[in-house]
Amino acid sequence: MPVPLLSILALTPLAAGIIVLLLPAEKRSLIRGIAFATSLFTLVVSAIIFFRFDTTAGGYQFIEKMNWLPALGISYHMGVDGIGAAMELMAGIVVLSGVMVSWRVEDRPREFFAFLLFLAASVFGVFASLDLFQLFFFFELAVFPKYLMIVMWGSPKTREYGGMKLTLYLFLGSVVALIGVLAVYFTSGLRSFDMLALEQAGLALEFQRAWFLVIFVGFGVLGGLFPFHSWAPDGHVAAPTAVSMLLAGVEMKVGVFAALRAGLMLLPEGMRYWAPLILVLATINVVYGAFIAMIQKDFKYVIGFSSVSHMGLVFIGFATLTREGLTGAGLQMFSHGIMTALFFAVVGMVYDRAHTRDIRELGGLFRTMPIAMLGFVIGGLVSMGMPGFSGFIAEMPIYMGAWKTAPIVAIISALSIVITAAYILLVVRRVFFGETPEGIRAGLSDISLMDKIVVVLLSLILIVIGLFPSVLVPWIEAGVRHILVLTGGA
């Protein structure tokens, strides 16, 4: 029997989280050590999965299947396609980075790291789920650690509001999606939640059209789809650094991934029918998100809204239903995950030292934290779609997909490139250059070695993908081929 890599990946953090909770709270180093070792281990496992994934063969690989609740047609069914494999790797990188930047959490580290590991288990599980119920199970597993981490470790002023808003939005979205999932379950007549079977169920056209929006938008809420995006900036800002990284970096991808799996892949006709609407909403995401990011005064809100803008591009890629668009969307999911984790990590490092996130009160930080500045600039270049960085590699195919289906979408959303450049450059200049205001000078120091490793690692990934797209593209394309078979596209 082959090693059940995907189960190991998803269940190790769960087990480690429980073990951490059972330890005495004083054993801080041990707790940190376990969290670090676990996240390093999951990164290695996700890398093994990624590199052992056969991109020429495509399809679903590393499949594990067991009966779970056979009476209800629920099975424990793990497997990844190329996109899933890439997402697992991305999540592995972000989780490890999140643990590393949280090294100095002093307030109840035991609970903090345990919850962080639960969150990791949830995302690893979703990306590998081939059973709708199981997907839902892992999807919802994230709710309680997310909520608790925001309200317990979040920024004091907004954590209750932000945590509550985020949880209610996502709950609402997932309830709606659950209704849709149940509709698929009953209508298919298969009495099974197995997605591989449901993909082939040949659901009626009218059904697909009627129920598509329920599932796609329900999950899409977590992806930040306009007009259901407003939880994202508030939630991201309220959350502690590592959670912001995971929320914006990975959780938003969990949302679009679930929307892709359960919405697009089970109801392709529905996607085709509703594509114009999704394109319109996503274009609003892209342009409106960028404009709102530009007027923010809070460093972290800028990044929060930029995520809304960038996730719009993923939805555009999906809605084009073309090979290019879908490939770009997958690349953007990966690229944005790493980029936004980098952003939030740097924002957290700045906040820890300056104790403010108001852009007007910051300045001149490159003197004390040059590496953090460099990381933020590289993240910014990715964000503005600068060629040579991963953002361009992702956006280019998305735009090409848009040109094939709705050129006007490409033209309008391209506006966001210049707006993004403007706000990123302004933020970089105000926060990292110029004079350091008197008020924040006292607390400034360079970032720790752990932090530096994170910043450099994430930055390098963004550059390498930008210069050598072939390190990632074949995986995404392997996934896209399968999707195109389902949608009947070329």
Partner 1 sequence: MNILSAHLLSLILFLPLVGAVVLLAFPAAKVKAIRCVALVASLIPLALTLVLWGSYRAALTVGEFKFVENYPWFTSIGSSYHLGIDGVSLVMLLLTTLLTPLAILTSFNIKERVKAFMILFLVLETGMLGVFMALDLVLFFLFWEIGLVPMYFLINQWGGEKRNYASLKFILFTMGGSLGLLLAIQMIGVVCGTFDLVTITASWPALQGGELFGIPIATVKAIAFWAFVVAFAIKVPVWPFHTWLPDAHTEAPTGGSMVLAGVLLKLGGYGFIRLVLPLFPAESARFASWLAALATAAIIFGALAAAAQTDFKRLVAYSSINHMGFVVLGIAAAAWAGGQTNPTLRESAVIALNGAVLQMFNHGLTAAGMFFLVGVLYDRAHTRQLAEYGGLFAILPVYGAILVFISMASLGLPGLNGFVSEFMIVRGVWPIFTLFIALAMIGLLFTAVYVLKALKLTLHGALNEKWVGKLTEISRRELVVIIPLMLLVVIIGWWPAWILNLINQTVMTWF
Residues that bind partner 1 (CB under 8 A): 323-324, 327, 381, 384, 386-388, 392-393, 396-397, 399-400, 403-404, 407, 410-411, 414-415, 417-418, 421-422, 425-426, 429, 433, 469-470, 473, 477
Q: Any idea what DSSP says for residue 444?
A: -
CB of 295 to partner 1, least distance (A): 16
Half-sphere exposure of 129 (CA within 13 A, CB side): 27
d(CA 206, CA 195): 20
CB of 324 to partner 1, least distance (A): 6
d(CA 475, CA 47): 13
Nearer to partner 1 (CB atom), residue 138 or residue 475: 475
User: 159 — phi, psi (to 5°)?
Assistant: -65, -35
Nearer to partner 1 (CB atom), residue 89 or residue 424: 424
Nearer to partner 1 (CB atom), residue 393 or residue 455: 393
User: In sequence order, what DSSP letters do the residues of 320-334 get, joined into one string?
Assistant: HTSHHHHHHHHHHHH
204 Cβ neighbours under 8 A, 6+ residues apart: 187
CB of 146 to partner 1, least distance (A): 34
What is the β-pairing status of strands 74-80 and 61-69? antiparallel
Nearer to partner 1 (CB atom), residue 217 or residue 386: 386
Farthest-apart Cα atoms in the chain, separation? 69
Nearer to partner 1 (CB atom), residue 44 or residue 418: 418
CB of 343 to partner 1, least distance (A): 17
CB of 402 to partner 1, least distance (A): 9
Nearer to partner 1 (CB atom), residue 169 or residue 423: 423
Q: Can you read off the two tokens belonging to residue 147?
A: 């909520």
User: In sequence order, what DSSP letters do the residues of 16-44 get, joined into one string?
Assistant: HHHHHHHS-TT-HHHHHHHHHHHHHHHHH
- For residues 142 and 119, the answer to whether their CB atoms sit within 8 Å is yes
Which residue in this structure is represented by tokens 């991934």? 257
Strand partners, 69: 74
CB of 449 to partner 1, least distance (A): 18
CB of 28 to partner 1, least distance (A): 35
Amino acid of residue 166: L
Nearer to partner 1 (CB atom), residue 215 or residue 302: 302
Which residue in this structure is represented by tokens 């450049």? 421
Which residue in this structure is represented by tokens 């997402």? 87
Q: Can you read off the two tokens belonging to residue 269?
A: 């006709």
CA-based R_g, the chain, Å:
21
Nearer to partner 1 (CB atom), residue 274 or residue 399: 399
CB of 378 to partner 1, least distance (A): 10
Q: Any idea what DSSP says for residue 59?
A: S
CB of 400 to partner 1, least distance (A): 5
Nearer to partner 1 (CB atom), residue 5 or residue 400: 400
User: 67 — phi, psi (to 5°)?
Assistant: -70, 145
